[in-house]
Amino acid sequence: MRRMPRGERSVPGARRAPPRRRGYGGGVANLRIDIWSDIACPWCYVGKRRLERALEQFPHKAEVDIVWRAFELDPSAPLVRDRSQSYAERLASKYGTQPAQAQLMIDRMVDTAAADGLEFRFDRIRPGNTFDAHRLLHLAHERGMQGALKERLLRAYMTEGQAIGERDVLLALACEAGLDDQEARDLLDGDRYAGEVRKDEALARELGITGVPFFVLAGRLGVSGAQPAEVLLGALDKAWSELRAPALETFAEGATCGPDGCD
């Protein structure tokens, strides 16, 4: 865990939790978690599951708001990559290693995912551009369906081998998650929320986020990576206690006057 720069204002954006009311602790906002992640990110899916496990143990789960932020691991990726190379071969090329070593990395990732109840099928994966998926996630946020769409996209990519860069695939997944068919079509045919995706990515750079998943709790506490559920639970407890701390902190005390007289 690490402190984020510039305090709570470092994470502006959609559905910002309301500030404390002027009442010196009389009313407090929900705990918001901003999560930067990509669909084409195995650790992001694992991190999502681990956060869900942590939240199941968190007594204030009902007072937590989650906002999924955009982060593209490969912004220059084509809509769908050529399938002539296996995932292991692409991984070996990326890290300058041999396919056999890359396959060992994949096998470890599969085992890790399985321990968190996920089935990763790298033999099915169809990598591609995730920009439009992030645009749909912004729409889903506005419609109160962001969590459902995030889960559907991750499962489609990591387990089912669906090409989440293709328009028709995205449209079907969006509708399965509950979005309106025509609204999703109109979004995919235009550039709606493109600016919001770029703002998420710019904010990630401003905050020094270079890898995902990355969790920011209450706009001030950063957790990098798919940490174990117990670590995330500790972060939740810490962020909650700070959010609930009295708004007024005494810096110095001196002579005063009260109803019964003066010091």
**Per the structure block, which two tokens stand in for 94?**
């990326």
CB atoms within 10 A of CB 35: 21
What single DSSP character describes residue 70?
E
Distance CA 105, CA 86 (A): 14
pLDDT computed for residue 13 by the predictor: 39
Predicted TM-score of the model (pTM): 0.86
Amino acid at 206: E
**CA within 13 Å, CB half, 195:** 3
pLDDT of residue 14: 33
Provide the phi-psi class of 153: left if phi over 0, else alpha when psi is between -120 and 50, else beta.
Answer: alpha
Rg of the chain over CA atoms, in angstroms?
Answer: 22
Domains and CATH numbers, the chain: 2-72+133-158+195-262 (3.40.30.10)
Six-digit token string for 82: 């050529």
C-alpha span between 200 and 196 (Å, rounded)? 6
Per-residue pLDDT, 28: 54
> According to the model, what pLDDT value does residue 204 have?
97
| Distance between CA atoms of residues 62 and 128, nearest Å | 35
Buried b / exposed e across 38-75, counting CB within 10 Å, b at 16+?
A: bbbbbbbbbbbbbbbbbbeebeeeeebebbbbbbbeee
The mean pLDDT values, 10 residues at a time, for the chain of 263 residues are: 53 39 49 98 98 98 97 96 89 92 97 98 96 98 98 98 97 98 98 98 97 96 98 97 72 71 72
* pLDDT value at residue 244: 78
> What distances in angstroms separate CA 224 from CA 68, 215, 247, one per listed residue?
15, 6, 28
